[in-house]
Amino acid sequence: MIHVQTLRMTIPGVRPRRFLHISDAHIAYAYPDDPPEVIANSAHDTARWGTEGRTSNENFEDFLALARETKPDALVISGDLYDYYQPSSARYLLEKLGGLPVEYLFVYGNHEPAAPAANGLEGEVRKAVFDARLAGPAPEFWIKDYGDLLLIGLNDAYQQIPAAQLDRLEEQMARGIPIFLVMHIPLPFPNFLATTKIRQPNAPWDYNYFLLGCEKPNESTDRLYRLASAPDSPIAGILAGHVHFFGSDEYAPGKWQLTPAPGYGWDVRINWPENA
């Protein structure tokens, strides 16, 4: 059984909207006719990321069933959709995500760019599975424009934000429309930094690995931090992942950074009636 937490937000001027947010599904799928080593690797990895006796693949399918049932404005995926690349996982994701009755929006996690050179992810998965369904020509930066609200996807999978992405972000911020950022690695706002230190005390890597700009400090990441935290910023929230725990940080009044636990998710309701 998946766990979904609900957050209700009030953003003046935005009509009621609802987003399902998932991250770190870590899919490793194998079909019955796959080679034995592929089946064995899939069984190992899906059990590793599973919870409560269910594999990560089963949790993912539960979340897709929820999307089909509730029909949100979009299913937002904050990276690490697969655990490692293999053709069967690509085929599986194409079947499952391509068959959804709702739009999905995807950004890279650190597991996505790790594979292109060795496994052909660039050609087979990005173009066949993700790019055709994204709101822009490339997953490095995309915009979903609802008229009264923007969802903007950034690629921070390499532990930093390229300056060119921030130039484009500032162009959109100048429009004055509320913005939700979708990214994989969360920003190190003070409360979130403190929570990460508590929740990841024995991680294989230092806690800095889990927060943007801590492991690889750079001016572009500092610039994004300033853009998001400025008192007059139109950035209304951030949907991230990577840390592998349910996190909710009100980093400014009425503005939240959210992370799901692996394969679980947030039900974000903006100006949504309480009884709906």
Per-residue confidence (pLDDT) for residue 32, from 0 to 100:
93
Q: Among 16-30, 77-91, 257-271, name the one with the lowest average pLDDT.
A: 77-91
Per-residue confidence (pLDDT) for residue 138, from 0 to 100:
56
Per-residue confidence (pLDDT) for residue 27, from 0 to 100:
87
Give 179-189 pLDDT, tens digit per residue.
Answer: 999 999 999 99
Torsion of CA 93, 3, 188, 107, to 10 degrees: 20
Interval 222-240 mean pLDDT: 95
Per-residue confidence (pLDDT) for residue 139, from 0 to 100:
61
Per-residue confidence (pLDDT) for residue 114, from 0 to 100:
47
Neighbours of 73 (CB within 10 A): 20
Domains present along the chain, CATH in parentheses: 4-270 (3.60.21.10)
pLDDT band at 118 (very low <50, low <70, confident <90, very high): very low
Interval 61-75 mean pLDDT: 94
Per-residue confidence (pLDDT) for residue 252, from 0 to 100:
93
For the chain, what is the mean pLDDT?
Answer: 84
Per-residue confidence (pLDDT) for residue 86, from 0 to 100:
75
Interval 48-64 mean pLDDT: 85
The 3-class SS string of the chain reads: CCCEEEEEECCCCCCCEEEEEECCCCECCCCCCCCHHHHHHHHHHHHHCCECCECHHHHHHHHHHHHHHHCCCEEEECCCCECCCCHHHHHHHHHHHHCCCCCEEECCCCCCCCCHHHHCHHHHHHHHHHHHHCCCCCCCEEEEECCCCEEEEECCCCCCCCHHHHHHHHHHHCCCCCEEEECCCCCCCHHHHHHHHHHCCCCCCCHHHHCCCCCCCCHHHHHHHHHHHCCCCCEEEEECCCCCCCEEEEEECCEEEEECCCCCEEEEEECCCCCC
Interval 14-42 mean pLDDT: 92
> Do residues 25 and 59 touch, judged by C-beta distance below 8 A?
yes
Residue 135 clears pLDDT 60, i.e. is over it = no
pLDDT band at 64 (very low <50, low <70, confident <90, very high): very high
Per-residue confidence (pLDDT) for residue 115, from 0 to 100:
42
Separation of alpha carbons 35 and 227, rounded Å: 49
Cβ contacts of 35 within 8 Å, gap of 6 or more: none
Per-residue confidence (pLDDT) for residue 131, from 0 to 100:
40
pLDDT band at 255 (very low <50, low <70, confident <90, very high): very high
Q: What are phi and psi of 255, to 5 degrees?
A: -120, 130
Separation of alpha carbons 106 and 78, rounded Å: 6
Interval 97-123 mean pLDDT: 69
Per-residue confidence (pLDDT) for residue 88, from 0 to 100:
84
Report for 121-125, 210-214, 234-238: range of highest mean pLDDT? 234-238
